[in-house]
Chain A
Amino acid sequence: MSTINFSAREINFKIVYYGPGLSGKTTNLKKIYEQVPAESKGEMVSLATEDERTLFFDFLPLDLGKVNGFKTRFHLYTVPGQVFYNSSRKLILRGVDGVVFVADSSPARLRANAESLRNLRENLLEYNLRLSEVPFVIQANKRDLEDAIDMDMLKRVLDPQGKVPFFEAVAADFDGVFEPLRAVATMVLEKLAQKA
C-alpha cells in the first residue's frame, strides 16, 4: 500500500523488480539511475556480495515532482534472484505497490523464470496479496541473445491468459528500461485513483 505522509505532503509508492538470478534486475536500476536527471533521484544503495550479486536488495528513490500539492515519489527495489535468498525476497515485498518481473530470454533460463514467478506468487500470499491484485508487468530482458527464446513461448509460459503487459528489453543497452517502469507506475496510480 502507498504511504501517505500528510504532514510532509508526500505520497510514496514501492515498486519491486523481481525475477530469477542474473536476469538483469540490478542492471535495470543502474540504467535508470544513469538516465534520470540528478534532481529527480536520490542515492542508489546496493547491498551486494563481493562478486556484485545482489545479497539483500538495491534501492533507488525517484522523485516525480508535486501533484496537487503532494510530492510524489517512487521507491524502486530489486530482490536477490538466487533461489536460496528467499527470506530476503519476502522481506522486500512488504508493502509493495507494483512489480516489474524481469524475465531472462535465454532458453536455458525458461524454467528459472517460471519458478521465480511461482515464488513471487507464493511470497505475495505471505502478505495476503494475490498477484492479480498487484500492478504487474513483465520485461523480457536480453532480447539481443542469439538464441533468445521466442516471445510467444515466453508469454505462454509466464502469462498463458495473456493479461499481463509485456515489454522486450536489452537493459544493458538501455533498451526497454523505462517502458515497463512507466507502465507499472501508471497502473499503481490508476489503482490509487480507483480507491480514492
Chain B
Amino acid sequence: MLEPSLDLYGSTFDSVDGILRELLAKSRARYALIIDRKGFVLMHARALWAPRPPSLDSFATLVASNYAANRAIANLFGEEGFKETVQQGAEVGTYLEELGAEALLVTVFDSTAQLGRVKVATKQAADAIRVELENATEAPPDVDFDAEFQDGATALLDGLFGTRDR
C-alpha cells in the first residue's frame, strides 16, 4: 500500500483549496502553496490579479531547502526551529508556516500587501488546514503503481534517454 505524503484529495482537497483562496483574499497575497519538505508542490493557488509565477518546482525546492537549512541553524543553538520564516525584498516577500511534520504552507506577497495581515491570514489558514487534515477520513483513490505502470514508465525512460547514450 502506497501512502501519499499528505492526505490531499477528494473533499479534503476541495476544503484546503477553499482555505488557500480565502487566505489570498484576506491577505492580498499573490500565491499560496503547500509543499512537502522534500520540495515537491502539493497544492497551489494564485490570486486572479497576480502575475504568472516563476517555476514552482524551483521555488518549492528552494523554499524546502531553505527551511531545512534554517532549522539546522536553529538546532546548532539548541532550538528546535525558528518561530517565523519571513523574507522581504523590495517588491516581493514570502512567509512560511509549518503544516505538521511533512509539509509547509508558504505565502508569496508583494508591496501592496501588509506583512502583518499576511502573517495573521497565513497562521489562520495553517490552523484551518491542520484541522482539515486531522479530520480527513476519505481513503486515497485506488491506483496501482504495478508492473504495468513500471513498463509504461520504463518505455518513457527509453524514449527520453534512448537505449544508448548517443
In this assembly, does B2 line the interface, its C-beta being within 8 Å of a C-beta of chain A?
yes
**Given A45-B62, A68-B148, A176-B165: A94 in contact with B68 (beta carbons within 8 A):** yes
Q: Which residues of B contact A190 (CB under 8 A)?
A: 150
Asked if residues A178 and B161 are in contact (CB atoms below 8 Å), the reply is yes
Nearest Cβ distance between residue B18 and chain A, in whole angstroms? Answer: 13
In this assembly, does B82 line the interface, its C-beta being within 8 Å of a C-beta of chain A?
no
A1-17 residues at the B interface, CB under 8 angstroms? 1-8, 11-12, 14
Asked if residues B65 and A67 are in contact (CB atoms below 8 Å), the reply is no
In this assembly, does A131 line the interface, its C-beta being within 8 Å of a C-beta of chain B?
no
Q: Tell me what chain A mostly uses at the interface: helix, strand, loop, or mixed.
A: mixed
Q: Which residues of B contact A14 (CB under 8 A)?
A: 38-39
Q: Which residues of B contact A5 (CB under 8 A)?
A: 4, 8, 40-42
Asked if residues A186 and B68 are in contact (CB atoms below 8 Å), the reply is no
On chain B, the number of residues with a Cβ less than 8 Å from chain A's Cβ atoms is 46
In this assembly, does B57 line the interface, its C-beta being within 8 Å of a C-beta of chain A?
yes
Q: Which residues of A contact B38 (CB under 8 A)?
A: 3, 14, 94-95
Asked if residues B154 and A175 are in contact (CB atoms below 8 Å), the reply is no
In this assembly, does A103 line the interface, its C-beta being within 8 Å of a C-beta of chain B?
no
Complex CA–CA separation, A78 to B4 (angstroms): 25
In this assembly, does B84 line the interface, its C-beta being within 8 Å of a C-beta of chain A?
no
The interface stretch among A18-26, A36-44, A144-152 is: A36-44
In this assembly, does B77 line the interface, its C-beta being within 8 Å of a C-beta of chain A?
no
B1-47 residues at the A interface, CB under 8 angstroms? 1-2, 4-5, 8-9, 13, 36-43
Chain A: residues with CB nearer than 8 A to chain B?
Answer: 1-8, 11-12, 14, 36-37, 40, 42-43, 45, 56-57, 59, 61-62, 64-65, 67-68, 70, 72, 75, 87-88, 91-92, 94-95, 174-179, 181-182, 185-186, 189-190, 192-193, 195-196
